[in-house]
């Protein structure tokens, strides 16, 4: 997923959590039940957010590894090109 898509997903999750909390506040339940439900929803939201964060971190590490590999290959090609130029000068 792109950074823009990840950001949209996170905002969607945050909006859903806020919407759930507001809906619970206006629910015809006792205060104790409502507080319990809000706590449960907040915990679920935290878990989802933490999971998304772990996924993003893992993807970042993968991209870093791929970028590093590409940079190393580019450096090797550069060195090979420099050696060829040095040979042709000699």
Dump pLDDT digits (tens) for 55-78. 889 999 999 999 999 999 999 999
Residue 2 has pLDDT above 70, yes or no: no
Q: What is the pTM of this model?
A: 0.48
**What is the tens place of the pLDDT at every residue in 33-43?**
878 887 888 88
Q: With contact defined as beta carbons under 8 Å apart, do 78 and 36 qualify?
A: no
Residues 6+ apart with CB under 8 A from 37: 24, 27, 29
């Amino acid at each position: 997923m792109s950074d823009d898509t990840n950001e949209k997903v996170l905002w969607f999750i945050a909006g859903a959590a806020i919407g759930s909390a507001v809906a619970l506040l206006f629910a015809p339940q006792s205060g104790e039940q409502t507080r319990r439900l809000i706590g449960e929803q907040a915990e679920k939201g935290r878990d989802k957010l933490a999971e998304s964060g772990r996924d993003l971190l893992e993807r970042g590490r993968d991209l870093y590894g791929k970028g590093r590999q590409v940079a190393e290959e580019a450096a090797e090609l550069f060195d090979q090109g420099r050696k060829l130029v040095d040979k042709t000068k000699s």
